[in-house]
Structure 1
Amino acid sequence: MTERLDGTVALVTGASSGIGAAAARELASLGASVALVARRKDRLDELAAEITAAGGTALAIEADVTEQAEAVAAVERTVAELGRLDTAVNNAGVMLLGPVLGAPTEEWDRMVRLNVQGLLYIAHAALPHLVSAADSEPRRVSDLVNISSVAGRRPTAFSGVYNLTKHGINAFSEALRQEITERHVRVSLVEPGAVDTELTDHLRPAVREVARQRFASVETLLATDIADAIAYVVTRPRRVAVNEILVRPTEQPG
């Protein structure tokens, strides 16, 4: 049975599109007030207006989570304006594929900054508030959901540094889970396979074409499919922790 999230507050990074936007809509539909965090303020404002029009509560926060001060400010503004923090969804990320030999290392830097450091900054800032929420009504449990990837389980050629960042997220999440699970702060991984989002838009043209051809015959997941998985994780009863969910298209072999 799905529990409602009334009286709780969720923060979602990368909320201007794709999985982040879909997750924000889903959490709001379940009763959570939602802080929308991303760099594209115009899109956040549109999503906030949509959620508000549907009867929900949303706060648009323009922030670059790769800057620690901005990540901290986003969390603190969420708590100051919405009153608490029960759920943090670390969704912001970028996938820049290609061979290691001759790679533009600025792409590696970009992935490490966003996929790893940005996630760490939000987690660090959110944890004290998640601990506090887990000690209080209405649910007496809180959630940190880190969006990883099938790439965090299965290294593949031409994905080396992306694999590195996602394997790192998986390791960090499990270590943190062991540290704080007895405080009723649940740490969970959601690992999507191929999803129809803007993720491949950031690839160099030649690499983008190869990546898209790889899944040309596969019916890929929708962002709403991953939002549904996130919602499942955070709506379990206090006694239930879903530590990891791998979601792939039915037709995706690896």
Structure 2
Amino acid sequence: MATTNGNTKPVALVIGASRGIGLQVAIDLAASGYAVVVAAKSYSTSAVVEGPFPPDPNSQQSTINTVEREIRKAGGEAIAIRVDTSDPVSVEELIAKTIQKYSRLDAVIYNSGAIWWASVEDTPYKRFQLMQRVNVEGLYATVQAALPHLKRSETGGRIIVVSPPIYSRFFRGKTAYAMGKVGMSVLTKGLAMDFERQGLSDRMAITSIWPAVAIESAATDKFTREDPSMANDLRKPTIFSDAILAMLRAPTSVVNGQLELDEDFLRRHAGVMDFSKYSVVPGTSPRRIMPAELPDLTVKEQDDEGRRHDSSKDIKGKL
């Protein structure tokens, strides 16, 4: 497929790519042969920064513009496009600009997220609302805008969502946050079923990914500054990008609708057994924060599931 600028590489859109995990994913996708659209709200008017380049990947100096520059300096293809995932119009413009630039879209990685961990009583409504807009609503807007283009992908459209497995302990102490993040995982499950029903699951897939061990990021920097020993329990973000690349290479039958942990996926499907290279502090064995075994969400169906109804057919021709 030829494009407006002569690019024939598969195109990956990474949303939430200015720092930390998203930055690493964008860099590694580019190194693996993708043209990368680096998207986030954090941007700078100039890609030139004071001091050493590239800047600290978890600092305010790291923006979509510096990430684009870093990829290009390494010989990769990238473009930075600002997006506010709480605004569906901004999301639609991001997809439109991506297609205008490359005329194709093959993979979307949704890493954008708003975090607030507290009880329901201690979570203001405006904070709750922001998390839903950035997390689950932002993902939904992205998927709807991207789907028509992903369906035309010659390599098969893929969506990777940073959202967790669904299990009881995840809700504890962060109900408002969990409502949005689990909602994102429900979208993964539901859209995967849509792909199957529409006969697209042989070439399209959506997968959720979550860290089994805490990953070094801007959020963890705060804690390691207060207590440097906490770095012993952190892994580098390269484990996440390695897992995402493995998911993109895997057959759709392996990944469609799955809620995966980075470590477990790499062990089962990429043959990784030694994870020591991912430890932030060499020689340490970071503590796993996720359960060793997660619940199976499937159920034993009765003979008659009941009649399915498609509400969209109720309004066709009425709008």
- Equivalent residue for 1:24? 26
**1:115 CA displacement:** 0.8
**1:237 CA displacement:** 4.3
Q: 1:200 to 1:112 in 2, by over 3 A?
A: farther
Mapped partners of 1:75, 1:171: distance in 2: 23
Is 2:48 the partner of 1:33? no
- Give yes or no for contact 1:9–1:85 (8 Å, CA) kept in 2: yes
CA deviations over 1:176-207 (Å, ceiling 9, x no partner): 01111432211111112422212468xxxxxx
Structure 2, unmatched stretches of 5+, are 1-7, 45-62, 264-284, 291-319
- Equivalent residue for 2:80? 60
Is 2:189 the partner of 1:174? yes
CA deviations over 1:29-77 (Å, ceiling 9, x no partner): 1101000111111211111111111111101001101111110110111
- Equivalent residue for 1:81? 101
- Equivalent residue for 1:229? 243
- Give yes or no for contact 1:192–1:246 (8 Å, CA) kept in 2: yes
- Give yes or no for contact 2:185–2:259 (8 Å, CA) kept in 1: no
- Give yes or no for contact 2:14–2:110 (8 Å, CA) kept in 1: yes
Task: Report the count of equivalent residues.
Answer: 234
Residue 11 of structure 1 aligns to a residue whose secondary structure is strand
Mapped partners of 1:238, 1:161: distance in 2: 32
Residue 185 of structure 2 aligns to a residue whose secondary structure is helix
Q: CA RMSD in A?
A: 2.3
- Give yes or no for contact 1:95–1:199 (8 Å, CA) kept in 2: no
Mapped partners of 1:17, 1:46: distance in 2: 10
| Aligned residue among 113, 123, 131 for 2:133 | 113
CA deviations over 1:141-197 (Å, ceiling 9, x no partner): 1201111135x4332432111111111111111110111143221111111242221
- Give yes or no for contact 1:130–1:142 (8 Å, CA) kept in 2: yes
Q: 1:17 to 1:217 in 2, by over 3 A?
A: closer
- Give yes or no for contact 1:229–1:245 (8 Å, CA) kept in 2: no
**1:240 CA displacement:** 4.5
Residue 36 of structure 1 aligns to a residue whose secondary structure is strand
**1:105 CA displacement:** 2.1
| Aligned residue among 262, 278, 295 for 1:247 | 262
1:204-223 aligned within 5 A = 216=230, 219-223=233-237
- Equivalent residue for 1:204? none
**Greater gyration radius:** 2
* Greater relative contact order structure (CA < 8 Å, 6+ sep): 1
Structure 1, unmatched stretches of 5+, are 1-5, 202-207
Normalized against structure 2, the TM-score is what? 0.68
- Give yes or no for contact 1:94–1:199 (8 Å, CA) kept in 2: no
Mapped partners of 1:117, 1:199: distance in 2: 22
CA deviations over 1:208-244 (Å, ceiling 9, x no partner): 87xx88x937522222211111111112246643533
Q: Which has the higher helix share?
A: 1
Identity among equivalent pairs (%): 26
- Give yes or no for contact 2:163–2:185 (8 Å, CA) kept in 1: yes
